[in-house]
A and B are shown apart, each in its own frame.
Chain A
Amino acid sequence: MSADTHSHPSYVKIWGILVALLVVSVCGPMLGIKVVTLITAFGIAVVKAYLVTKHFMHIDVQPRYVAYLLLSMVAFMVVLFAGVAPDVMRHDGLRWTNVAAKAEVARGGHGEAPPAHAAAAKAEAPKPQAQPVSPSEGAATFQTLCSPCHGPNGDAQGPVAAALNPKPANFTAPEFWATRDRAHIEKVIRDGGPSVGKSPLMAAFGGQLDPAALTKLVDHVMHFNKAGVAPAPSAQPR
């Protein structure tokens, strides 16, 4: 026997405790109380990890430096979190904006728009035919999909706009409408900026919108053309 042999506790008993803790960690969050969820899910995870490490891995009978080695690695993770989390958890600062993160929050909707799982459920179910779309739905879709860049008023003052180059289109500018008609707007929304030789930062939303919703969204964008400017027949978008 080598010097590092050790006694063996009742492993079945420890396994029983671990399984009981698992049951608590699953049942606790069912109460729907946030503090209870945190304690039962994550607090118990720490206890379970301790039991496995102590009794199954026998960390306590190893030379002390083994525990120090492992704890050093855990400490590195704490340093990583402390150093990076402030930038990841916030989505903008004085001179920067995390465009991708803001766009993801906007897509998720946080209750304002259909979350991704609703879109997935829609993919499973047969598409409703000629589903009625309320006039306000165009505005709601605009707020969700377009306003992060184009601004809630269509004036290109969205929270993400400052970080974009080229800047998003300003729908309130008459010169914008001097070179664009309804078909152009619909094409850009459906197929993205590159489809008309414009910025790839303007994503294609055709896959997320059924025809009725697309029409309502185009209606809403067109309503920003307050002056009723119409493009000349030969006009090309600048």
Chain B
Amino acid sequence: MQKPIATTRSATGIPTGKLAIWWVLASEIVIFGGLLVSYIMNRLGHGEWGDYAAHTNTMAGAVNTFVLLTSSLSAVLAHKAADQKDGVKAARLLRLTALGAAVFLVIKSFEWTHEIRAGYTITKNGFWAFYYTAAGLHGLHVLAGAVIMLIIAADAAKNRELQRVELIGLYWHFVDVVWIFLFPLLYIAK
């Protein structure tokens, strides 16, 4: 199949695919930023939310932060391998990154199960509504990233479309950055 011209041209100084990813991330800043800014202003107006936040599991959040930071390392190493035209290695590292995503989601599901069983549901109060919405939206991004990563890894293993390895990496690092801010907001500020 012939590629669209937009795929290969770089009139803006960077490949169009990368430009598109930056625009996606710009819109994601508004999506997550709007949510987090709303959370912060409500948190500042509700001192009692500190009591609710005391029931989040800091250690689970910290372990998940470690998992995401490590998966970001494998994502950037995959990018390096792709730059060196080593598609097989890039694919292996991308799959490792997807494994990190799976570990993150498993830890989160255990965490949520425990909290929901203790009665802390999304309708409990404003804090838990934000907690599940923000972490849930982030979790969906983790899931989507993992699926896309596996699709790209399948191509990369055949040394095809290696430029996409960096693109999914950019998205993944952004997901990591969002969690870097979610972690202190939801788990540490008590």
Contact = CB atoms under 8 A, between A and B. Distances in A.
Interface residues of A, number: 60
Given A63-B13, A119-B119, A101 B45 contact: yes
A37 B189 contact: yes
Interface in B1-55: 10, 12-15, 18, 22-23, 25-27, 29-30, 33-34, 36-38, 40-42, 44-49, 51-52, 54-55
Contacts of B10: 2-4
Interface string A77-111: 10011001100111100000000010011011110
B137 interface: no
A117 B70 CA distance: 33
Contacts, number: 168
Interface in A172-220: none
Interface stretch (A45-53, A133-141, A160-168): A45-53
B122 to A, nearest CB: 13
B58 interface: yes
Contact of B177 (A8, A53, A66, A123): A53
Contacts of B180: 45, 48-49, 52
Nearest to A12: B73
Interface string A50-68: 0011011100001101100
Given A19-B69, A37-B189, A104-B126, A77 B33 contact: yes
21 contacts: A4-B10, A4-B15, A12-B73, A19-B69, A22-B65, A37-B189, A45-B181, A56-B75, A76-B30, A77-B33, A80-B34, A88-B41, A90-B45, A101-B46, A107-B125, A108-B47, A115-B51, A117-B54, A120-B118, A121-B119, A123-B119
Interface of B: 10, 12-15, 18, 22-23, 25-27, 29-30, 33-34, 36-38, 40-42, 44-49, 51-52, 54-55, 58, 62, 65-66, 69-70, 72-73, 75-77, 80, 83, 118-120, 124-126, 163, 169-170, 173-174, 176-177, 180-181, 183-184, 188-190
Given A4-B18, A52-B180, 5 more contacts: A15-B70, A19-B66, A29-B188, A56-B169, A74-B29
* Ranked 7 nearest A-B pairs via Cβ: A108-B48, A120-B119, A41-B184, A77-B33, A73-B29, A89-B45, A85-B41
